[in-house]
Amino acid sequence: MQQTPDSANPFQDPIRFERRIPPCSVLIFGANGDLTMRKLLPALYRLAYERKLPPGFSIVGNSRTALTHEQFREKMRVSVEKFIENSPFDAQLWEDFARGIYYVPGDLSDPAFYLALKKQLEEIEKERGTGGNVLFYLSTQPSFYASVVEHIGASGLANHEGGGWRRVVIEKPFGHDQASAQELNSRISKVLPESDVYRIDHYLGKETVQNVLAFRFGNTIFEPLWNRQYISHVQVTAAESIGVEGRGAYYQEAGALRDMIQNHLLQVMATVTMEAPPYFGSDAVRDERAKLLRSIKILKTEEVDQHAVKGQYGPARVGNENLLGFRQEPGVSPEAQTDTYAAVTFFVDNWRWAGVPFYVRTGKRMPKRVTDIAIRFRKAPLALFSSMPGAEDSPLAAPNLLILRIQPDEGISLRFQSKDPAGGGMKLRPVSMDFNYGSSFGTRTPSAYETLLLDALAGDSTLYTRQDMVEASWRAVEPILNHWNNTKFDFPNYAAGSWGPKASDDMLARRGHEWRIP
């Protein structure tokens, strides 16, 4: 029998209970925006619904708009009811949840505003027992990130006398190039240590991206094949069927390379290619990801045209709908040089991956929404079954292909050759062995924001990007960005509803490869 318990909580049951989150508050800067209403509040409510949040959990919202606590609560109720996914809305639970929601209006550049925030947090700590633990969530314009963190420091909000923790979550983009990322990091690190800075990349919060680690390092049969000896090349595709959806003005400045490849897709690629960490801990996993990102070969300017393709969609009729070209979208300049499509051939300079091309592409207005990773293995060394005329060149004579499907239809497929029983003789035909996430685990999959918010509250930064990772990924794309900035492109070069520009197909064809249709 256990002895008299000490100050640690002896009632915890790690086998059956959810991970313990200490009492705390979340302070959201820019709480009147889309992200808060569509993602953050629904995710936090869902966590409360599943009893994953501690008693006394509180939220403080901020924006410039003058609202009372009650008005803000009502606004959040409407958005939670509207945007909560695959979950019921429980009015009674909301009533309790809403009691912990507060609002402090104010101007982010006004020092007095931060003092008001401090006062509000102190009151909440007293009333609701949050222990002084605060997660600051920066859901503002990126240009405010550094100054908000500096104000947090100057007002004394970055520290708590009673020993409560203070963490900050920052949404991408983390800078717009390497120099600005370094500057941002440098200003933030003067206020908060790296261990308290959580740079969110919601792709890493997706269950299926996390499953890549389980797949690779929880099994022994794949890892011995996971190298240049057996893998011909890897294709990472993140296609969206939608256009810019009213975000034309923002997107015009960002572009696909910055918006998707520099952050999400390079992180995904690093997850697929990194070495096994010595243990599953935040820094161990991130060290390996960072090491991989640093190993990406940096292109020389003269190599960019051969290794990267920039595209922009033009108008097209798809089905019975006339789709606008990017330049016809509201808020977009008719001369815009923005990349709505980007494809890059990356190489990783290490012993495992030397010489293996990693084709990474992303685009808007593609035929469908799909994100997957296709690992194409080398052909069998001997064409033992190719005696039938034309069999070797047949499209059916395909090498093994492993598909990791991130979204939708999350799962894993392995294509291999099997004897075709029809017609007699030794004819082979590719067949697919499918693992479907939804059918093997019928439980509701948490949204990426639920996963990541819970991690940040628990102090687990494994799925967050670290300063060195951000800088390494900027370094990998910067030569491409610079070259594209100095080149005038003849746009549009692909029709809405297609799989991208011909130049992208040519890029793969030069190495004897072709894009698979996901």
Choices 1-9, 306-314, 317-325, 417-425; region in contact with other proteins by CB under 8 A? 1-9
Residue 23 binds other proteins, judged by CB under 8 A: yes
Three-state secondary structure readout of 447-485: CHHHHHHHHHHHCCCCCCECHHHHHHHHHHHHHHHHHHH
Nearer to other proteins, 122 or 392 (CB): 122
Told to check if 142 binds other proteins by CB under 8 A, we report no
Beta strands at 25-29 and 58-62: parallel, antiparallel or unpaired: parallel
Number of amino acids touching other proteins (CB under 8 A): 42
Contact criterion met (CB below 8 Å) for 275 and 457:
no
Q: Which residues neighbour 67 within 8 Å (Cβ) at sequence distance 6 or greater?
A: 32, 75, 103, 105
According to the binding rule CB under 8 A, does residue 219 interact with other proteins? no
Task: Please give the residues from 29 up to 58 whose contact with other proteins meets the rule CB under 8 A.
Answer: 51, 54-56
Rounded to a whole number of angstroms, the minimum distance from the CB of residue 197 to other proteins is: 25
| Closer Cβ to other proteins, 110 or 123, answer by number | 123
Does 10 contact other proteins by CB under 8 A? yes
CB of 11 or CB of 351, closer to other proteins: 11
Axis crossing angle, helix 266-273 with helix 467-485, rounded to the nearest 10: 130
Query: Should residue 22 be labelled a site residue for other proteins when binding is judged by CB under 8 A?
Result: yes
Output b/e per residue, 389-425; b: 16+ Cβ within 10 A.
eeeeeeeebbebbbbbbbeeebbbbbbebeeeeeeee
- Near other proteins in 228-267, by CB under 8 A: none
Q: Which span (18-26, 204-212, 243-251, 269-277) binds other proteins, by CB under 8 A?
A: 18-26
Question: DSSP letter at 328?
Answer: G
Asked if 218 touches other proteins (CB under 8 A), the answer is no
Residue 416-455 contact track with other proteins, rule CB under 8 A, x = bound: ------------------x-x-xxxxxx------------
Identify the three-state secondary structure at position 512. coil
Residue 264 annotated as catalytic: yes
Position among 283, 409, 468, 478 found at the interface with other proteins (CB under 8 A):
409
Q: From 374, 361, 254, select the one nearest 308 (Cα to Cα).
A: 361
Angle between helices 266-273 and 282-294 (to 10 degrees): 100
Sites for other proteins among residues 56-95 (CB under 8 A)? 56, 90, 92-93, 95
Q: How far is CA 465 from CA 6, 195, 216, 327, 493, in A?
A: 36, 11, 20, 33, 34
The answer to whether residue 105 forms part of the interface with other proteins (CB under 8 A) is: no
Q: Is 239 helix (H, G, I), strand (E, B) or coil?
A: strand
Q: Does 351 bind other proteins (CB under 8 A)?
A: no
Site membership for other proteins, residue 129 (CB under 8 A): yes
Question: What is the residue whose two structure tokens read 């009650």?
Answer: 70
Q: Which of 233, 264, 307, 483 is catalytic?
A: 264
Residues of this chain that bind other proteins (CB under 8 A):
1-13, 15-18, 20, 22-23, 51, 54-56, 90, 92-93, 95-96, 127-129, 131, 409, 434, 436, 438-443
Active site residues: 264
